[in-house]
Amino acid sequence: MYSSKITGMGFYVPDNVVTNDDLSKMMDTNDEWIQERTGIKERRWIKEGSGDTAAVMGAKAAKIAIERAGLIKDDIDFIVFASLSPDYYFPGGGVQIQDLLEMPTVGALDVRNQCTGFVYSMSVADQFIKTGMYKNVLVIGAEFHSKGLDKTTRGRTVAVLFGDGAGAVVLSRNEEAGKGVLSTHLHSQGKFAKELSVLTPSIQKWVPALMEDPDDLSYYPYMNGQLVFKHAVVRFSEAIEEGLTANNLTKEDIDMFIPHQANLRISQFVQRRFKLSDDQVYNNIMYYGNTTAASIPIALCEAWEKGKIKEGDLVVIAAFGSGFTWGSIVMRW
């Protein structure tokens, strides 16, 4: 049986930097609150008229990943695209990537697992490679959050958290024993579906019904922040433990931990729990906010660009988010 490994990575974030002070001009918030509770200093928000969307940013990140893999677009066998903020209600953004990159008519699959979207997408790609069906799979996470946020004081608990951006990897067939993706682990618990959600417009409440009630703001993201936080720290830890146990490894074996960038406090809690040093964890939520499905590939790529991931390193990835969904990936670089 084959295994898979990352052969190329890329990320793209819009130029437009939005600081906490910028937000305090739109809503009743302040730099101190945001930094203390989340660690975020600034985020990137797409500027109106720039042309960027989740698919456009995803394609930009993908182009870099394909080039760094030493491949051309025609070498890619399949696309997996994760986003909670796609350009259209349907079709999903995967087909746009195929078109934007002028790729052959390969399959394109859309994954809707929010903050865990990239972990799920990697797992799907890994299975296709393991079975021998595909050799090179493009895996993308991209989000255009800023246009869908309630940027008034009413929405401040959520609006200050999210940023726009995209990250991509090429996952390729691996011939070297003990290298690449060692295992992936996926979970969900739908009884908490509404605790972090955007409920409309949906088939249950389509646009005309929504417009009848001006007080119905269910098209904005809602998050039960404290409940999500409590579950996140538990599930992050479980997912890491599960990945280590499955590979007969211990926390001492971890060289680099890349957490989904939901809140610096969550990452720090997990870091302490696993007794990891600052050099063994990569965080960049300070500069990009929470970019949901894009956060892990952006962080992974940036850590690698900074030389923090080396050949032979054990890299552990974990995510938790809306669904609830959570999961992990264990990789030998």
290 is catalytic: yes
The site for ligand UT7, by CB under 6 A, has a size of 19
CB of 251 to ligand UT7, least distance (A): 22
145 is catalytic: no
Tell me: does residue 225 bind ligand UT7 (CB under 6 A): yes
Tell me: does residue 266 bind ligand UT7 (CB under 6 A): yes
In terms of CB distance, is 280 or 290 closer to ligand UT7? Answer: 290
Amino acid of residue 179: K
**Residues contacting 53, CB < 8 A, separation 6+:** 46, 87, 144
* Residues in 39-78 at the binding interface with ligand UT7, rule: CB under 6 A: none
**Which residue from 71, 232, 318, 329 is in contact with ligand UT7, where contact means CB under 6 A?**
232
Q: Which stretch binds ligand UT7 (CB under 6 A): 32-40, 136-144, 296-304, 308-316?
A: 32-40
Tell me: does residue 321 bind ligand UT7 (CB under 6 A): yes
**Which residue from 83, 85, 263, 284 is in contact with ligand UT7, where contact means CB under 6 A?**
263
Within the chain, what is the greatest distance between any pair of CA atoms? 60
The partner residues of 18 in beta bridges, in order of sequence, read 43
Please state, as a whole number, how many other Cβ atoms lie within 10 Å of the Cβ of residue 77.
20
Tell me: does residue 115 bind ligand UT7 (CB under 6 A): yes
Q: Are 301 and 317 in contact (CB under 8 A)?
A: no
301 is catalytic: no
Residue 60, Ramachandran bin (φ over 0: left; ψ between -120 and 50: alpha; else beta): alpha
Tell me: does residue 226 bind ligand UT7 (CB under 6 A): yes
CB of 28 to ligand UT7, least distance (A): 7
Tell me: does residue 38 bind ligand UT7 (CB under 6 A): yes
Binding mask 131-170 for ligand UT7 (x = CB under 6 A): -------------------------xx--x----------
Closest CA to 140 of 81, 181, 76, 93: 81
* Residues in 290-309 at the binding interface with ligand UT7, rule: CB under 6 A: 290
**Which residue from 95, 125, 262, 264 is in contact with ligand UT7, where contact means CB under 6 A?**
262
Q: Are 148 and 324 in contact (CB under 8 A)?
A: no
Strand order in the sheet with 3-12: 3-12, 165-174, 136-143, 78-82, 107-111
Please state, as a whole number, how many other Cβ atoms lie within 10 Å of the Cβ of residue 158.
18
Buried b (16+ CB within 10 A) or exposed e, 117-155: bbbbbbbbbbebbbeeebbbbbbbbbbbbbeebbbeeeb
Cα distance between residue 77 and residue 135, in whole Å: 7
User: Which of 115, 145, 231, 284 is flagged as catalytic?
Assistant: 115
**Which residue from 65, 228, 264, 316 is in contact with ligand UT7, where contact means CB under 6 A?**
228
Q: What is the DSSP string of 241-262?
A: HHHHHHTT--GGG-SEEEE--S
Cα distance between residue 55 and residue 43, in whole Å: 19
**Which residue from 3, 4, 7, 29 is in contact with ligand UT7, where contact means CB under 6 A?**
29
Tell me: does residue 222 bind ligand UT7 (CB under 6 A): no
Residues found near ligand UT7 in the complex (CB under 6 A): 29, 33-34, 37-38, 115, 156-157, 160, 225-226, 228-229, 232, 262-263, 266, 290, 321
What is the set of active-site residues?
A: 115, 260, 290
